[in-house]
Each structure stands twice: as C-alpha cells, then as structure tokens.
Amino acid sequence: MKQQIIALFSGIFFGLGLGISQMIDRDRVLGFLDVTGTWDPTLLFTLGGAVGVTILTFRWVLGRSMPIFSPKFYLPTKQAIDWHLLIGSAIFGIGWGIAGYCPGPGLVALVLGAWNPFLFIISLIFGSLFYHWITTQRMNRS
C-alpha cells in the first residue's frame, strides 16, 4: 500500500511538472519540434533540467544496494539495439511529431477538455492492443 501511495504522489508531482513546463500544450511541443520553421526553444529548459537532474543523481541512485521503497532495482537486461527498438523509436517520434503528445503529457492533457488528447489516448490504447495482438499471434504460430 505504501508503494501505491508513493506512486500516486509521484504521478501527481510529475503531472504538475508537465503542466507547469507547458509540456501538455501540443502547440508548444510542436513548435519545439519544428527546428526548420518557427522553432520555439522554451522547452529546451525543461529538457535541460531533466537531463541535469539525471546526470547529477543517476550514479548515486544506482550506487545504492536497493531502492528506498522497493526490495530491488528493476533495470532492463537487454542491451542490444535491434530492429524492434529502431522501429518502435521511429513510431514514437513520428507520433510525437504528428500529435504533439507522448504518453505522459497526453494523459495529463486530458484535464484540458480538448479533443486532441482524447484522440491521442484512444489511438495509444488501440496501437498498444494491436501490437499485443500481433505479438500474441506470432507466438501462437511458433
């Protein structure tokens, strides 16, 4: 129960950060991604802050024997760059460039009441279910 409460407050804190930094404003995000047009560099400060915190804390966190609120670290074991990673990254980037949202800001943007975040989340759910169906079919054939 303690982990769920911590996760809830972490999510709320993260969502507030996304809102304050205007990462939920698709026009601001699309302006940031438009490097050959009317580029809006303001989100560079958000990116710089996130990268700065990561650089300062990553080694310290992983240097601990275990996380504060969990019995162990859950880190990816796969280190190879394969075509699944490349295709997934390309789909993510294309989707972000088209919609102006990625999953976190898309969920937070639902509070705006606009139709764009709802369409994004519906598409995200559909795409995830479709991918799950494809991989299940492939595993059943094997």
**Domain range spanning residue 17?**
2-141
Could you give the angle at which helices 83-99 and 26-33 cross, rounded to 10 degrees?
Answer: 120
Number of separate domains in the chain: 1
pLDDT at 125 (0 to 100): 94
Reported as a single tens digit per residue, the pLDDT across 83-100 is 989 998 999 999 888 889
Per-residue confidence band for 132, with pLDDT thresholds at 50, 70 and 90: very high
Lowest mean pLDDT among 7-11, 24-28, 68-72, 79-83: 68-72
Question: Can you give the pTM of this predicted structure?
Answer: 0.76
The answer to whether 31 touches 38, Cβ cutoff 8 Å, is yes
pLDDT of 1 above 90: no
Give me the residue label for tokens 């275990």.
Answer: 66
